Structure 1
């Protein structure tokens, strides 16, 4: 999706929303009814990461991010102590491949996810998918919440009939 001039974007409640793209230069959020994809650029401050994640939690605290981690078996319990919920694990080269749900209901889990993203950004940009029960109202509520972040803007809207 090409970024567009925010002043030219109008939100139509009469059309079925497919995606809404918003963000700043160092963060991009693409919302649909079932998934939120968030791209964090390497220069994004930790406070902005936290603000984005807590805004999502404020709108839908049942949202989850699925995170896969290669770790020692004993470290699985450490991640669980951070509020992560173990879904599955299997022995693999280098330890165990553990898959966790990061529940947006847990501030503790969000704090650790924020730190994890911030640390990953030292090496590369980070893209995460968050699964939620979004509808038109929740997408609009999320946009309103995120609009409080400095330099936040609406970038693009795609409607279902625009296939």
Structure 2
């Protein structure tokens, strides 16, 4: 009958969260402990990409995305000038195999990341994994933060089988 507002969705304090999925038709965000996986469909608008990245940044400044790519040596400094942090590099046949961390604490790095996602979406859907230290309350705060995006909704909440506290009188409804 009536739909619940986003404020009415609560994570059960009695169950251990396995995953929390939210988004809209062109974006899907799955949060777990340690990782946020974001699928951007080709139709995802720039503004939505930016709001998601900044939203994650507001909830967990320590979140990072790890990027591996092959580039010219000169390009390494170019990426670093945009706030990317070089973790490793090695000479290969096609250039330098590099690994960068993109810190969500850097607006400059997030702007560059958003631009590269937009560029990639011209050809194909994109999957972005971010690593964070989020727990149940951070996941709920992220959901509330992203709820201001038009069309944003809760898709599913999954709990681990091993409940923190098993009680027969607890019911979870959506």
TM score, norm. by length of structure 2: 0.86
Aligned residue runs from structure 1 range 68-79, under 5 A: 68-79=68-79
SS, match of residue 161 in structure 1: coil
SS, match of residue 161 in structure 2: helix
Query: 2:116 maps to what in 1?
Result: 116
Distance 2:44 2:136 in 1: 28
Answer whether contact 2:71 2:96 (CA < 8 A) is retained: yes
Query: 1:106 maps to what in 2?
Result: 106
Query: 1:24 maps to what in 2?
Result: 24
Who wins on radius of gyration, i.e. which is larger? Answer: 2
TM score, norm. by length of structure 1: 0.92
Query: What's the C-alpha RMSD, in Å, of the aligned pairs?
Result: 1.6
Query: 2:140 maps to what in 1?
Result: 140
Distance 1:110 1:65 in 2: 10
Change (3 A) 1:162 1:119: farther
Query: 1:3 maps to what in 2?
Result: none
Gaps of 5+ in 1: 1-5
Distance 2:38 2:101 in 1: 16
- Give the drift of 1:105: 0.2
Distance 2:12 2:84 in 1: 38
- Give the drift of 1:13: 2.5
Distance 1:73 1:137 in 2: 42
Distance 1:50 1:70 in 2: 25
Q: Which runs of 4+ in 1 moved over 3 A?
A: none
Gaps of 5+ in 2: 164-174
Distance 2:43 2:24 in 1: 11
Query: 2:81 maps to what in 1?
Result: 81
- Give the drift of 1:162: 7.2
Answer whether contact 2:16 2:162 (CA < 8 A) is retained: no
SS, match of residue 15 in structure 1: coil
Aligned length: 157
Find out whether 1:15 has 2:19 as its counterpart.
no
Find out whether 1:63 has 2:63 as its counterpart.
yes
